[in-house]
Amino acid sequence: QAQLVESGGGLVQAGGSLRLSCVASGRPFGTHAKGWFRQVPGQEREFVASINWKGSKIYYEDSVKGRFTISRDNDKDTVYLQMNNLKPEDTAVYYCAAHSRSYSDYDLSSRGPYEYWGQGTQVTVSS
Tell me the per-residue pLDDT of 6-21, one tens digit each, with 9 for 90 and over: 999 999 999 999 999 9
What confidence score (pLDDT) does residue 3 get? 95
* 18-57 pLDDT tens trace: 999 999 999 999 999 999 999 999 999 999 999 999 999 9
Task: Read off the pLDDT of each residue in 114-121 and give the average, rounded to a whole number.
Answer: 97
Nearest to 85 by CA among 61, 59, 60, 64: 64
